[in-house]
């Protein structure tokens, strides 16, 4: 992550003024052609991916139209497919995960960028990078064996006793469900928020901090009222990035969400998500319409993450360009 | 000190302490994960785990030899697809292309990189599994390979561009052709970075489960050749962790420990290579 986000001086292609024939003889044109084919294949694969998703869901799109997003019947036997419970589950779990991950992640990023000495900050960032490398199925295993029992025995009863008057925290505590999936997702996306936010905070010019301190603000005031607002767009970018990860996350969610296509207000109730239903049913889906409905869900997921990733990239780029070139802390 | 100032100082110290707590909590997750995996996985890991086939339902013991070999085969296919496309594509972007083509290729790569892994799995299913009517090692490797391409491409390109312009010009001034320059000057100068990029891409897909569920499927036995369904460590962990048998849970922990150990070691090695700097001084 840190390797890909550092900005490096660009040294564009150097063009010789030799004739086409001599370039051909020395192999330049051949190499150019070969490498071009490989580069073009990346574009081709991407186009093919979008095409397959679009084409593969044509039947379902025509049959259900926009009702696909409004109905919640998922019945393979009678070939009635509505995607609402899955879209709902995906959105709710992602929202819960962001509610937990954003404060924690930004807090940690502030500590790493503003307070910790460079050596401590770099060491912690190293651990954070390792955390980002942990595969999602491992988070799933920990979710199943540790988070689910914890939620069932301690967290959910405690929430019910204190905040039980809210419809969000009612109903039996199964352990699995929206809340648990949200917690596991939060643990998974925190490293992304920290890494990107830390980079963005570090790119805020030193003068900004010094000016605030010189005006008599405390360390926290200079951080919260000057540095963080300066880095606001970049931090938003990191949150969008985390949201895109959370939406598309499959294994960990599948293992702890309960896999029941219901729409309930309670966060304790088991649910389902787009990625989870694809993971569970795609291999066994029989019948054209069934498969196509699942592919349409995949298309929805792809478009959501595509939009969020695009927004994230624009936001992060704007901030780091504005700040770079000045002295870093 | 007036009360207002005292309050502001208190808020400052309190909030800054809180950020420290946040960082502590976030980092401690890594050690919780490692601790649990070493504790649960450590007691269930033994020689059989690496050499035996999974035991039939109801029997204890057995291992995951087929999943370890299966993962290795899947990753071999993935590397054969992902690395050449990523590496050669990056050479084109860094050394030959104009800015318009480069923009399109980078955009496509970023799109591919952001696609959820389960969607990549559907793509591989439609492209490889469906036409051949077979779940296979090739299909699973193809899905993982697709995921390796954008990671390898984007970071390799950055490291190629980081090679100082003076080196290029020096080679050109000596009369070397573009190809000769790339071969003997630019790639050797950036090789640490390129190696890191490939290692990180490898580690990233080594733990991927979602694209494998309906491409490589799974297999309780050895998978022969490249066109049969194959077991893999991540899918095995997934299935075993959700099973109802304690012995399978133990195996899942053990497999998790092996997989995470491998991924973390590759990550640490990759970062160690990079921290020694790319082998030429930056201009």
Q: Do B209 and A10 touch (CB under 8 A)?
A: no
Angle between helix axes B246-275 and A118-133 (nearest 10 degrees) is 140
Is some CB atom of chain A closer than 8 A to the CB atom of B41?
Answer: no
* Backbone dihedral angles phi then psi of residue A13, each to the nearest 5 degrees: -65, 140
Tell me, yes or no, if A326 comes closer than 8 A to chain B by beta carbon: no
* Chain A residues lying within 8 Å of B30, measured CB to CB: 127, 130-131, 134
Whole-number Å distance between alpha carbons of A164 and A171: 9
Tell me if chain A has a CB within 8 Å of the CB of B81.
no
Q: Which residues, in sequence order, are bridge partners of residue A75?
A: A80
Location of structure tokens 């651990």: A127
For residue B277, the model assigns a pLDDT of 64
Say yes or no: B265 contacts chain A, CB-CB below 8 A.
Answer: no
A9: tokens are 């001086």
Higher pLDDT, B178 or A38: A38
Q: Which residues, numbered 88 to 107 in chain A, qualify as contacts with chain B under a Cβ-Cβ cut-off of 8 Å? A: 103-107
In this complex, which of A104, A134, A139 lies closest to B22 when CB atoms are compared? A104
With CA atoms as reference, the chain A residue closest to B213 would be A279
Tell me how close the Cα of B107 comes to any Cα of chain A, in angstroms: 8
Tell whether B30 lies on the interface with A, counting CB pairs under 8 A: yes
Q: Which ranges in B37-134 belong to alpha helices (H)?
A: 42-44, 47-51, 65-91, 99-114, 117-124, 130-132
Q: Does B116 touch chain A (CB under 8 A)?
A: yes
Q: What is the pLDDT of residue B278?
A: 55
pLDDT (0 to 100) of residue B56 = 82
pLDDT of B23 > 70? The answer is yes
Phi, psi of A163 (to 5 degrees): -115, 20
pLDDT at A329: 34
| Per-residue model confidence (pLDDT) at position A326 | 38
Instruction: Report which secondary-structure segment, H or E, holds B177.
Output: none
Q: Do B23 and A124 touch (CB under 8 A)?
A: yes
Give per-residue pLDDT as tens, B73-123: 999 999 999 999 999 999 999 988 888 999 999 999 999 999 999 999 999
A112:B23 CB<8 A: yes
Q: Does A127 touch chain B (CB under 8 A)?
A: yes
Position A275 scores a pLDDT of 95
Residue A40 at interface with chain B, using a CB cutoff of 8 Å: yes
* A227 within 8 A of A114, measured Cβ to Cβ: yes
Question: What local confidence, expressed as pLDDT, does residue A18 receive?
Answer: 59
- The separation between the first and the last C-alpha atoms of chain A, rounded to the nearest angstrom, is 20
**CA–CA dist B172, B40 (Å, integer):** 59
Q: Which residue has the tokens 């790493």?
A: A112
List the single residue in A13, A108, A249 with the smallest CB-CB distance to B19: A108
Q: Phi and psi at residue A267, in whole multiples of 5°?
A: -75, -15
- Burial (CB count <10 Å: 0-12, 13-18, 19+), residue A219: middle
In 3D, which of A205, A222, A193 has the Cα closest to residue A319? A205
| Weakly modelled stretches of chain A, pLDDT under 50 | 1-14, 324-329
What's the start-to-end Cα distance of chain B, in Å?
Answer: 52
Mean pLDDT of B241-264: 93
* Helix (H) / strand (E) containing A80: strand A80-81
Q: Please give the interface size between A and B, counted as residue pairs whose CB atoms are below 8 Å apart.
A: 300
Calpha distance B191→B195 (Å, rounded): 6
Distances (CA, A) of B40 to A157, B54, B252: 27, 19, 9
Are A28 and B30 a contacting pair at CB < 8 A? no
Instruction: Tell whether B36 lies on the interface with A, counting CB pairs under 8 A.
Output: yes
**What is the reported pLDDT for A84?**
94
Predicted pLDDT at A4: 42
pLDDT digits (tens, 9 = 90+) for B124-133: 999 999 898 8
Q: Do A135 and B117 touch (CB under 8 A)?
A: no
Quick check: B8 contacting A, CB < 8 Å? yes
Percent pLDDT > 90 in chain B is 70
Q: Can you give the length of chain A in residues?
A: 329
What is the predicted pLDDT for the residue at B274? 85
What is the distance in angstroms between the Cα of B52 and the nearest Cα belonging to chain A? 23
| A219: chain B residues, CB-CB within 8 Å | 12, 16
Are B259 and A135 in contact (CB < 8 Å)? yes
Alpha-carbon span B33 to B27, nearest angstrom: 10
Class of residue B6 by CB neighbours under 10 A (exposed 0-12, middle 13-18, buried 19+):
exposed
What does pTM read for this prediction? 0.91
**B251: which residues sit within 8 A by CB, 6+ positions away?**
B44, B49, B54, B62, B63, B64, B236, B240
* Per-residue exposure over A260-293, b if at least 16 CB sit within 10 Å of its own CB, e if not: ebeebebbbbbbbbbbbbbbbbbbebeeebbbbb
What is the spatial distance between Cα B134 and Cα A37, in angstroms, rounded to a whole number? 29
Exposed, middle or buried, B42 (CB in 10 Å: 0-12/13-18/19+)?
A: exposed
CB B184 within 8 A of CB B171: yes
Cα-to-chain-centroid distance, residue B244: 30
For chain A, say whether B161 makes contact (Cβ under 8 Å): yes
Q: Considering only CB atoms, which chain A residues are within 8 Å of B8?
A: 218, 221
Alpha carbon of B76 to those of A329, B10, B202, B205, B211: distances in Å? 43, 57, 10, 11, 16
Confidence of residue B283 (pLDDT cuts 50, 70, 90): very low
């Amino acid at each position: 992550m840190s390797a890909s986000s550092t900005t490096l001086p660009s040294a564009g292609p150097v063009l010789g003024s030799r004739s086409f024939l001599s370039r051909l003889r020395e192999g330049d044109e051949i190499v150019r052609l070969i490498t071009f084919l490989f580069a073009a294949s990346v574009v081709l694969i991407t186009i093919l991916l979008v095409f397959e998703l679009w084409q593969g869901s044509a039947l379902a799109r025509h049959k259900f139209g926009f009702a696909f997003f409004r109905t919640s019947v998922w019945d393979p036997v009678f070939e009635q497919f509505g995607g609402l419970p899955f879209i709902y589950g995906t959105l709710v779990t992602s929202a819960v995960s962001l509610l937990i991950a954003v404060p924690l992640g930004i807090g940690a990023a502030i500590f790493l960028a503003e307070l910790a000495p460079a050596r401590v900050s770099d060491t912690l960032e190293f651990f954070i990078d390792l955390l980002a490398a942990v595969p999602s199925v491992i988070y799933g295993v920990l979710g199943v064996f540790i988070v689910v029992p914890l939620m069932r025995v301690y967290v959910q009863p405690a929430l019910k006793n204190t905040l039980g008057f809210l419809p969000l925290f009612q109903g039996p505590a199964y352990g699995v469900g929206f809340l648990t999936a949200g917690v596991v997702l939060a643990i998974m996306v925190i490293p992304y928020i920290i890494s990107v936010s830390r980079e963005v905070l570090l790119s805020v010019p030193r003068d900004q901090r010094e000016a605030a301190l010189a005006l008599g603000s405390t360390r926290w005031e200079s951080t919260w009222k000057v540095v963080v607002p300066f880095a606001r767009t970049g931090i938003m970018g990191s949150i969008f990035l985390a949201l895109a990860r959370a939406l598309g996350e499959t294994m960990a969610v599948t293992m702890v969400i309960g896999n029941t296509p219901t729409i309930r207000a309670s966060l304790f109730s088991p649910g389902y998500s787009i990625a989870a239903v694809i993971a569970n049913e795609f291999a066994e889906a029989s019948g054209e319409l069934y498969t196509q409905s699942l592919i349409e869900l995949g298309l929805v997921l792809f478009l959501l993450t595509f939009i969020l990733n695009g927004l994230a990239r624009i936001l992060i780029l704007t901030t780091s360009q504005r700040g770079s070139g000045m002295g870093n802390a | 000190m007036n009360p207002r100032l005292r309050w502001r100082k208190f808020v400052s110290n309190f909030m800054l302490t809180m950020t420290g707590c946040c960082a502590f909590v976030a980092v401690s997750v890594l050690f919780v994960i490692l601790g649990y995996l070493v504790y649960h996985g450590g007691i269930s890991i033994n020689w059989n785990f690496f050499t035996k086939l999974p035991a039939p339902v109801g029997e204890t013991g057995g291992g995951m030899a087929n999943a370890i070999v299966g993962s290795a085969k899947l990753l071999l296919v993935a590397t054969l697809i992902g690395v050449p496309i990523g590496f050669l594509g990056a050479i084109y972007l860094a050394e030959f292309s104009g800015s318009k083509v480069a923009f399109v290729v980078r955009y496509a790569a970023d799109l591919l990189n952001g696609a959820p892994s389960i969607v990549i799995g559907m793509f591989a299913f439609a492209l490889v599994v469906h036409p051949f009517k077979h779940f296979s090692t090739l299909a699973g490797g193809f899905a993982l390979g697709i995921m390796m391409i954008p990671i390898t491409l984007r970071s390799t390109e950055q490291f190629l561009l980081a090679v100082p312009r003076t080196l290029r010009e020096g080679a050109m001034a000596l009369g070397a052709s573009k190809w000769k320059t790339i071969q003997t000057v630019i790639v050797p100068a950036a090789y640490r970075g390129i190696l890191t990029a490939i290692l990180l891409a490898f580690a990233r897909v080594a733990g991927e489960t979602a694209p494998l569920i309906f491409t490589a499927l799974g297999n309780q036995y050895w998978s022969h050749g490249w066109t049969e369904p194959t077991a893999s460590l991540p899918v095995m962990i997934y299935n075993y962790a959700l099973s109802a048998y304690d012995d399978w849970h133990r195996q899942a922990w053990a497999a998790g420990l092996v997989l995470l150990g491998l991924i973390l070691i590759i990550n640490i090695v990759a970062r160690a290579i990079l921290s020694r700097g790319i082998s030429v001084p930056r201009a």
